[in-house]
Amino acid sequence: MNLSTSGLIIREFHVGESDRLVTVLTRDFGLIRAFASGARSIKGKKQAGTQLLSYGNFAFTERKDTYRITEAECLDVFFALRSDLVKLSLAQYFCELCGALAPEQDDAADYLRVMLNTLKFLETDRLPALQLKAVLELALLSLAGYMPDVSGCAVCGAKSGPMGLDPVGGVALCQNHLTGRCLPLSAGTLQAMRHITGAPVERLFSFTLSPAGMQELGAASEALVKAQLERSFKTLDFYHTLSATE
């Protein structure tokens, strides 16, 4: 069977001397793990087209449950990300998170658009890294069915004022119903979370927040990722190590 679609390489392993096993986040078929064999067997600019963070059009063949990339037309390699170790490490976390959340054998167009927009903003310094990270985390969680319910307090339904976020329950709680594991959500941060979890992909980044609010948002989104997925991410730990020394 042959498949053609656009996609982004989110993981790569070198296998032997000239082969690579890559994971592609594809628009039409979700995550596909595929071999990219030696340069001669693939048409087009394969070497650039099948490295981590390459976006392009791909053709795959499938035989006995093994996919191979037969064509790779590279459209963007996010070149400026590759020369900045901190940005690159954040981009690698975005890829690892996407690999944990995106579906297989299903439409993943929104995942791909969120990833491409976020990587482009990161590459061009259009928005602060903390905002990009929080938006991507909340957007991917929401797409994958882990959307936090921040419409109001989960106990009494109160909708306004500062609240807390329970990352394990994935809910907001008012000042009267806070528990020990809640993270603070000021009114502005709460509004930003409501925006991100309700906005269409093209409007995800259209909000402003004070630096303090952005810190809260970043802490809340990261806590949600870890609590909802019940795991940590090596690439995230590495990013924190690097960004702390900046």
Q: Which is nearer to Zn ion, 155 or 168 (CB)?
A: 155
Question: Which tokens belong to 229?
Answer: 């997925």
- Order of strands across the sheet with 183-185? 149-153, 171-174, 163-166, 183-185
How far, rounded to the nearest angstrom, does the alpha carbon of residue 60 sit from its chain's CA centroid? 24
Residue 163 Cβ, how far from Zn ion at the closest point, in Å? 8
Beta bridge partners of 165: 172, 183
Q: Which is nearer to Zn ion, 135 or 174 (CB)?
A: 174
How far, rounded to the nearest angstrom, does the alpha carbon of residue 157 sit from its chain's CA centroid? 30
Q: Which is nearer to Zn ion, 83 or 176 (CB)?
A: 176
* Residues near Zn ion (CB under 5 A), total: 7
Contacting residues for 17 by C-beta, under 8 A, at least 6 apart: none
Contacting residues for 140 by C-beta, under 8 A, at least 6 apart: 97, 98, 101, 102, 111, 114
- Contact string (CB under 5 A) for Zn ion, positions 167-206, x = contact: -------x-xx-----------------------------
Rama region for 38: left / alpha / beta (φ>0; ψ in -120 to 50; rest): beta
Return the residues of window 146-165 that contact Zn ion according to CB under 5 A: 153, 155-156, 158
Residue 216 Cβ, how far from Zn ion at the closest point, in Å? 19
Residue 65 Cβ, how far from Zn ion at the closest point, in Å? 50
Contacting residues for 133 by C-beta, under 8 A, at least 6 apart: 90, 93, 94, 218, 221, 222
Q: Which is nearer to Zn ion, 105 or 179 (CB)?
A: 179
Place of tokens 């982004």: 8
Residue 183 Cβ, how far from Zn ion at the closest point, in Å? 16
Task: Tell me: does residue 85 bind Zn ion (CB under 5 A).
Answer: no
Q: Which is nearer to Zn ion, 157 or 200 (CB)?
A: 157
* Cβ burial 181-196 (10 Å sphere, 16+ → b, else e): ebbebbebbbebbbbb
Q: Which is nearer to Zn ion, 115 or 153 (CB)?
A: 153
Residue 181 Cβ, how far from Zn ion at the closest point, in Å? 16
Q: Which is nearer to Zn ion, 89 or 189 (CB)?
A: 189
Residue 228 Cβ, how far from Zn ion at the closest point, in Å? 21
Return the residues of window 101-120 that contact Zn ion according to CB under 5 A: none
Choose the stretch contacting Zn ion; rule: CB under 5 A; options: 17-25, 103-111, 145-153, 236-244.
145-153
Please give the span between the terminal C-alpha atoms of the chain, in angstroms, as a whole number. 48
Residues that bind Zn ion (CB under 5 A): 153, 155-156, 158, 174, 176-177
